[in-house]
Amino acid sequence: MSILIKNGRIITAADDYMADIFIEHDKIKMIGANLDVKADKVIDAAHKLVMPGGIDPHVHLDMPFMGTSSSDNYETGTGAALFGGTTMVIDFILQTQGKSLHAALNEWKGRSDGNAVGDYSFHLAVTDFNEGTQAEIKDMIEVEGITSFKTFMAYKGALMIDDRQMVGLMNEVKKQGGMVTTHATNGDMIDYLVAKHTAENKTSPLYHYLSQPEITEAEATGRFADMAQYTGVPAYVVHMTCEGALNHIRDAAKRNQKVFAETCIQYLVLDASLYDKGFESAKWVMSPPLREKKDQEALWTGINQGSVQVVATDHCPFMWNQKKMGENDFSKIPNGHPAIEHRMELLFSEGVKMGRISLNKFVELTSTNAAKIFGMYPQKGTLAVGSDADIIIFDPKEEHTISAKTHHMNCDYSCYEGWSLTGKIKTVILRGKVAVDQNKLQVEKGYGKFIRRAKVNGII
Ligand code: DUC
Ligand code: ZN
Ligand code: ZN
C-alpha cells in the first residue's frame, strides 16, 4: 500500500514548508516538492496543514480506580484519540501494593492486547518499592521496552509512596537508564484537608478543590525535583497545573537539571470557577483540580519559555452514574475527565488561533517532545524519511462545536459542551494506513500496536 499526500503545508517542530509526502507500507519514504511517483492512493492536502500524529503521554484506559473503572477501554479510548488526531497514547499500569510489577504488566496486557485501534505504550506506576520491585526494573526497561516509572506523591493509603521509596526507585531507575515521573501533590496535606472538610460536613465537589490548594502541588513538585537532583535521575512532572509548581521547575532548570513538565489541556483552558455549579461540578473533579486564571497565564508563559514541554490530557473518563458515587461525599467522586479526543483541536483553537503559541510549538507540545522525552524519536513525533507514517491532515479554518452527542469517547457528557473551535482534523494516517477520514474510523480493533521504547537520558 502506498499513499501520496500532495500540496500540503508541512509543519514539524522545526519546519514550515510546502511539499508532498510519499508513504510506502508503514513508513515515510520521500518528502519533496512536486513528487512524481505513482501511489495506490492520492490525498490532496491543498490549504491544509500536514503534521505529525499526536502523542498523548498521559491517559488512563480501562483503569480500576476509586472503586470503579475508567469508562473508555483500549478500543473506544484509542479510537476517540484517533478522531482527535492522536495516533499514540501512553497509558499507566498500576502496581497493586504487595504484588509484583510483572503481575501488573500481565493484568494490563490482558486488557490491552488485541483491543487497541491506535498505537500505545505504558508507563509503570510503582506503588510499592521494595527489593523485589527493584529487581524488576531492569527487565521492564530492557525486555519490555517500558522505560518510564510513575510515582504518586498523593492518594495516601492507595497509590502513594513515601520519600524513602522514591529515592530508592530513583537510584535504581537512574542506574538502568529510565525516567521517573510523578503526580506531584502532598498526599498527607490533602488527606488532612479531606478529613477536615468531611468532619465539617462540607461534602460538595467544591471541597475537592479546596482540599488541594496550590501549595500542596508546589511543595511536592519542589521536593520531587530536589530528590531527582540528588539521585541524578531524569525526571518528569505529570499534569502540572499552577504557578507555584512551575517556579520549582524553573529553579531546577537553573541548576541544569533534567526535569521535564507536562501540563494538560484542561489546565490551560478551564478554571476553578467551574466548581461553583453544585453537584454538576463533579464533571470537573480531577486531581489536581482546575486552578485560577493567573495559573493559566503562568502555564502559557511556561510553555513559551520552554519550561513546560508537553500538553497531555490525563484522560480518565467516568460516566455520570459513576460520578454520582460521590453525591454525598466529594472524596468518593471518581477523579478524572474525558479529553483524549479534543486535546489537539482545543490546543490549536485556544493556542495557535488565539495567538498564544506558534504552529511549530503546537507540534512540539502535542507530539515531538513526548516522542523525544519518552524514547521514541524519530520513529514517532516527526515527519521525516524513515519515520512511521503517523500523519494528520488538518483544516485550520473549519469551525465546529464540541458535544457529547457527537464525540466518540465512551462518556455521556462533555466537559466542553458547546465550545466552538476553529480548526478540524480531517484525515489521520497511522503507520501508513488511513485511520480516520470523512469522520469515520477506517481501522479495526487490534490494529493498534504496542510500541517499545528506548532507554532515556533526559536530553532532548
Ligand atoms: N488524576 C485524575 O484526575 N484521574 C486519574 C488519576 C489522577 O491522578
Ligand atoms: Zn495524577
Ligand atoms: Zn493521570
Averaged pLDDT in 10-residue chunks for the chain of 460 residues: 98 98 98 98 98 99 98 98 98 97 98 98 98 98 98 95 98 98 98 98 98 98 98 98 98 96 98 98 98 98 98 98 98 98 98 98 98 98 98 98 98 98 98 97 98 95
Ligand 1 in contact with 183 (CB < 6 A)?
Answer: yes
Q: Please, what sign has the CA dihedral across residues 381, 386, 388, 391? A: positive
Å from CA of 286 to ligand 1 middle:
6
**Which stretches does DSSP call E strand in 233-385?**
235-237, 259-264, 310-312
Architecture of domain 53-373: Alpha-Beta Barrel (3.20)
422: β partners: 399
Q: Please, what sign has the CA dihedral across residues 410, 271, 424, 13? A: negative
pLDDT at 401 (0 to 100): 98
Residue 48, phi-psi category: left (phi > 0), alpha (psi -120 to 50), beta (remainder)? beta
The ranges of the chain annotated as CATH 2.30.40.10 are: 2-51+385-441
373 is written with which cell numbers? 522525552
pLDDT at 315 (0 to 100): 98
* Residue whose CB lies within 8 A of the most ligand 1 atoms, among 150, 153, 314, 323, for a mutation test: 314
CB 76 within 8 A of CB 418: no
Best CA proximity match to 362, nearest among 338, 346, 383, 341: 346
* Residue whose CB lies within 8 A of the most ligand 1 atoms, among 335, 337, 411, for a mutation test: 335
pLDDT at 154 (0 to 100): 97
Å from CA of 369 to ligand 3 middle:
18
Å from CA of 287 to ligand 1 middle:
5
Ligand 1 in contact with 336 (CB < 6 A)?
Answer: yes
Taking each helix axis from N to C end, the angle separating 131-142 and 101-112, rounded to the nearest 10 degrees, works out to 50
Angstrom distance (rounded) from CA 330 to CA 323: 10
- DSSP secondary structure letter of residue 356: S
CB 10 within 8 A of CB 50: yes
Angstrom distance (rounded) from CA 101 to CA 136: 7
* Residue whose CB lies within 8 A of the most ligand 1 atoms, among 66, 281, 316, 340, for a mutation test: 316
Amino acid, single-letter form, for residue 110:
G
User: How many CB atoms neighbour CB 265 within 10 A?
Assistant: 26
- DSSP secondary structure letter of residue 203: -
Ligand 1 in contact with 150 (CB < 6 A)?
Answer: no
Pick the residue whose CA is nearest to atom 1 on ligand 1: 287
Residue carrying the nine cell digits 523525544: 372
pLDDT at 153 (0 to 100): 98
Amino acid, single-letter form, for residue 362:
F
Half-sphere exposure of 294 (CA within 13 A, CB side): 4
pLDDT at 43 (0 to 100): 98
Ligand nearest to the CA of 56: 3
- The SS3 assignment for 181 reads strand
- The three-point CA angle 161-224-371 to 5° equals 100
Q: Please, what sign has the CA dihedral across residues 434, 439, 444, 445? A: positive
Ligand nearest to the CA of 151: 2
Backbone angles phi, psi at 225, to 5 degrees: -60, -40
Residue carrying the nine cell digits 458515587: 325
Pick the residue whose CA is nearest to atom 8 on ligand 1: 287
The ranges of the chain annotated as CATH 3.20.20.140 are: 53-373
Architecture of domain 2-51+385-441: Roll (2.30)
Å from CA of 289 to ligand 3 middle:
12
pLDDT at 48 (0 to 100): 98
CB 44 within 8 A of CB 62: no
pTM: 0.98
Name the burial class of residue 67, with classes exposed (0-12), middle (13-18) and buried (19+) by CB atoms within 10 angstroms of its CB: exposed
Angstrom distance (rounded) from CA 383 to CA 73: 29
Best CA proximity match to 312, nearest among 138, 55, 22, 50: 55
429 to 171, 328, 377, 410: CA distances (angstroms): 40, 45, 18, 22
Strand 259-264 and strand 310-312: pairing? parallel
pLDDT at 252 (0 to 100): 97
pLDDT at 277 (0 to 100): 98
Ligand 1 in contact with 185 (CB < 6 A)?
Answer: no
Ligand nearest to the CA of 182: 2
427 to 48, 52, 168, 414, 438: CA distances (angstroms): 10, 12, 46, 23, 7
254 to 167, 217, 257, 305, 350: CA distances (angstroms): 22, 20, 7, 13, 30
pLDDT at 431 (0 to 100): 98
